[in-house]
Every structure is written in C-alpha cells, then in structure tokens.
Amino acid sequence: MDEFTYRDGSLWCEGVPLTSVADRYGTPTYVYSASTLIDHYRRFAKAFDSISPLVCFSAKALSNIHLLRLLGREGAGIDAVSGGELHRAMVAGIDPERTVLAGVGKSSDELREAVRRNIRCINVESEAEVELLSRIAREEGVRPRLAIRVNPDVAPDQRTPARTTTGTRGGKFGVDIERAAALFERAAADEALRIEGFHIHLGSPIFDPQVYAVAMDRLLALVARLEAVGHRITTLNLGGGFPAEYIDRTAPSWDDFAEVIVHRLTGFTRQGGQVIFEPGRTIAANAGILLSTVRYLKQAGDQQLAVIDAGMTHIARAAMYDSYHFMWPVQPPAEAIPSSRDVSGLDGLTTYDVVGPICESSDYLARGRSLPVLKAGAHFAIFTAGAYGMTMTSNYNSQLRPAEVLVHGDQVSLIRRRETYADLVGLELLDDGSDQGD
C-alpha cells in the first residue's frame, strides 16, 4: 500500500529513516514516497487499460510541481481547477494536450489562459460560462474544446462526507442533467466552440462502485439521446473520487471500480471515444505523511493531551471534515511497533487527544486516540497525508507553511523549503513606503 514501514524500531520512508529527515529539515514537514506515488499511478492506470483512458491527476489533491513532473513522466496528465493549478501544470512541463480545466467559477483570465494554451478540455459548469467562453474564443481566434459538467443527482453512501459530495441536485457544481442536452446543442451550434462531451464528478471519497454505475447509466442515456439526433460525443470525463485506505482494508480496489465502469464504456471507446479520469486522493494519499514533533503533554480534566507542532493550518482535514488519520510515534516502544494500522492488540497504550498549536478550539487532530506513552520532543507521524494535506495549508495565526521532502530509494530531496518570517510578510512590504506604519 505504501513505502512507510517500521524497521529496527523506527519509521522509514523507502530507504531513509524519518528521524534523519526530522533532524535535517525540522518539523512539521511533509514527506513523500516517490515509489508509492509512481506505483499507485501505474496500478490505477492498469486497472482501466482496456479502455485506454487519459488519466489526469488532480492537482487539487497534491500540487507540488516536482510531484506533478514525476507523474507527468509516467504519462499522467493534470486536472486543474484554477488558473494557479493550470500554471503549475505548465511549469511542471505537462503537455496541454493532457491537461483539463474544471471549476464552477472560472474567471475570464483563467478561461483565456486555457484557450490560449489550447488545453485538452475545458469543463464548463453553466450556460453563462459557455457564453463567456464563446466570447473569449472569438477574441482569441481559437476554437477551444469543452465538455459540460453534468450533475447526475446521484448520492454516495454515508461514508462520503456531505461537504465533499458534489453530484446531488441543488449543489453548486455542474448543470442539472435535464438541462444538459439543450446546453450541448446550443454549444454545438456555436462555430467558436468545439463541444466534445460531458464531465461528471460525484464527490470524494466514494467507497461504493455502484454509485458510479448509477451515474454512468444516466450519463450514457443522455449521450444516446443526443447521438440519436445526429450529435457525436467523443469525450466522457468520469472525474475522480476514488477512495484511499485511511484505515486498512476499508476501500474497494481499483479493479472493483473497473469491473463496474469498463464494460459500460467499451462500446464508446471502440468507436473512438476518449475516456478521462481525474484521480487524486486514491493515488497520493498514502504516498505522504506529515512528520511532526510532540511539544507538550498536559492534563485537561480527565483527558491527557498531546500538543504537537502541526495543527489545522498544516493539515486541515480533521478540523474541516472530522476525518480520520492514523498517527503514531516515529520511534515507539518495542512492544508498540505496529505491523498494520490495527493497533488494538498492542500493549502499553494510553488514550490521548492530539491537538495542534493553533488558537482555535477546533484544532484537534484526534480525540480519544490509543497511542503509546508519548514524550515531549518525540517525533510523530500523521499518515495518509499526501492528499489534501499541503494543498490545504494556510498562514492562519501567522503560522509558517511546512517544508516538503521527496524520498526516492535512499535519496532525499527538498522540494519546497519551509517558509520564513520574511516570506510571511513579504507581500505586505510595499515599495511605496506605506508599510512603515503611522
């Protein structure tokens, strides 16, 4: 599943002990395994290889240009949801022909850049956006390729957080499926545009493959209606949302999803249609951890608290979604070295609330968590942090964003330096002297 393992009483990433990473780069620091990221991409692509999809990694999940470049060398494209992510993809050297742009509120500047780059597809989400894109296309003298994001009104099961469910009626994303045919025909009649097909994205993470089956059946019925009146659909983008293993053996395999998806699309691809996927979390989550340090231990009523140097500004998912991350000391006692993330049989555990240094009551990373006895100064690992970890960091409380490190075999590379106080205020030091105070 990943290349983070305990050896000789200590946690390693591939061929590197994480104690050495902490000593060299400090904490908190994101640490990524190149082998895990590559392996997950290859295995995902292999599961669907019979329909030859374009796999566009979701930069929203993990956007460091070094990691995008690493995936690009493997053949991945990029799914961007902003002009900034599109810029990252270009800096990383990703071919525009393997790049797609989504987002419900794209600015005219973002659309114009996508048009000028002639990227593979722009996923539009409203009638008004089609109008704006048409105007920009005429101004630029370029016919952009586009797909309509359809809201198929499909709800995932209760394991998908409500705040990351995106395919149900009344949400902000996409066009209601009953309006999609009329918008397609409108775009098809516009000589400034090249309308190619449809895009869906149902939310994340989605644990039940049948959710995709229901959505695809509705989407393919829409395609059949349009093709029956003479339109040609050449692109179907099924988005992402595939899960990752936050807890061992809780997520279906990529083959489980392929079993539901592939046979529904075989006819489409045999006729020359292009399928696009936008996986992010499923590839990146277990390719990264957040390496931290215990600062203080304290008693709060009946509860023991472990205060670490990483909080909701460094990893926001627990505060935002009440999400679960396995976490464990980098050098646990000998009797508490885990062979998996099921630690219920280990001895010598005690219960902690794990909290960060942020001045917010919601800054809890775990509550009531069974852990080995912790000591101040000990290094501490938060697992499954490769997706929606660094990309969701902030400077709230004027905290500095962490460093990012890539491990490949026994080689360690700094791929983003830790922010400094100079970085923190740099954009506020104005050339006109107005930063000098009253």
Count Cα atoms within 13 angstroms, Cβ side, for 278.
27
Q: Which of 13, 56, 121, 359 is catalytic?
A: 359
Tell me the pairing of strands 403-408 and 29-33: parallel
Helix (H) or strand (E) holding 114: helix 108-117
Long-range Cβ contact pairs of 168-174 (< 8 A, separation 24 or more): 172/104, 173/104, 173/125, 173/149, 173/201, 174/104, 174/125, 174/149, 174/150, 174/199, 174/200, 174/201
> Cα 417–88–393 angle (5° rounding)?
50
Does residue 214 sit in helix, strand or coil? helix
As annotated, the binding site for pyridoxal 5'-phosphate includes 241, 278-281, 388
Asked if the peptide bond before residue 28 counts as cis, ω within 30 degrees of 0, the response is yes
As annotated, the binding site for substrate includes 281, 317, 321, 360, 388
Q: Is 56 a known active-site residue? A: no
As annotated, the binding site includes 241, 278-281, 317, 321, 360, 388
Q: 401: which residues sit within 8 A by CB, 6+ positions away?
A: 313, 314, 390, 393, 394, 395, 418, 419
Asked if the peptide bond before residue 205 counts as cis, ω within 30 degrees of 0, the response is yes
Phi, psi (degrees; rounded to nearest 5) at 288 = -145, 150
Q: At what angle do helices 254-270 and 209-228 cross, to 10 degrees?
A: 10
Query: What's the one-letter identity of residue 30?
Result: Y
Tell me the pairing of strands 145-151 and 194-199: parallel
What tokens were used for 186? 């409108």
Q: What one-character-per-residue DSSP string does 128-175 give?
A: HHHHHHHHHHHHHT---EEEEEEE------TTS-GGGB-SSTTSSSSE
CB 267 within 8 A of CB 228: no
Cα separation, 146 vs 234, in Å, equals 11
Cα separation, 130 vs 151, in Å, equals 16
Compute and round to an integer the Cα radius of gyration of the chain.
23
Query: What's the one-letter identity of residue 198?
Result: F
Active site residues: 359
